[in-house]
Amino acid sequence: MFGVGWSEILVLTMIVLLFMGAERLPEIGRSLGEAIREIRNLKRKKRSS
């Protein structure tokens, strides 16, 4: 996955927690998941046409 290891993911998660706060983390994760899903759907549509 983009050449990112678990240690880098852990560091990024800690930075996000510091800046955004723990209460906003689920909202951020949900938004990120929706964005990734939309990109995948667009890629599929482009391949099929």
What are the per-10-residue average pLDDT scores of the chain (49 residues)?
Answer: 79 86 85 92 89
- For residue 32, being part of any structural domain is answered with yes
Residue 34 has a pLDDT of: 94
With beta carbons less than 8 A apart as the criterion, state whether 25 and 16 touch: yes
Exposed/middle/buried for 16, CB within 10 Å: 0-12, 13-18, 19+? middle
Backbone angles phi, psi at 13, to 5 degrees: -65, -45
- For residue 29, being part of any structural domain is answered with yes
Domain of residue 18 covers: 6-48
Residue 2 has a pLDDT of: 67
- For residue 1, being part of any structural domain is answered with no
| pTM given for the model | 0.59
Domain count, the chain: 1
Backbone angles phi, psi at 3, to 5 degrees: 70, 25
Residue 41 has a pLDDT of: 93
